[in-house]
Homo-oligomer: A and B are copies of this chain.
Amino acid sequence: MEREAPDDDAVFKALADPTRRAVLDLLRAKARTTGDLAGRFPISRFGMMKHLGVLVEAGLVLVERRGRERFNHLNPVPIRVLARRWIRPFEEDAVDRLLAQGLLHRPG
């Protein structure tokens, strides 16, 4: 059976929080500083730092220090790896099986 990479878990857990997903969504457009990000959510700067810590730990955010500022960049590579191992294998013929058993119904 296909085995799970040890750090897949960190990526999944990082994605499990809506604030962190929203942060990634913001970083998709451009890198942002920690304070900038904290100002956009109803949590304190320290709370944002914890979230960023989780994201960095999972490899989803790369840090670039520029003077006294810290720019947080999105790194989409872990998401891509995860998609290869976990998303695509689930898209195959399971739907057909469910349809055949009448547990799922075609839309419309």
Chain A residues bordering chain B, tally (CB within 8 A): 38
- Chain A contact residues: over half helix, strand or loop, or mixed? helix
Nearest chain B CB to A55's CB is how many angstroms away? 13
Chain B, residue nearest A63 (CB): B103
Chain B, residue nearest A24 (CB): B90
Nearest chain B CB to A58's CB is how many angstroms away? 11
Asked if A70 is an interface residue, CB under 8 A from chain B, the answer is: no
A28's contact among B77, B90, B104, by CB below 8 Å, is which?
B90
Task: Tell me the complex Cα distance, A91–B45, Å.
Answer: 29
Most buried by B among A22, A24, A95, A98: A98
Task: Tell me the complex Cα distance, A77–B24, Å.
Answer: 23
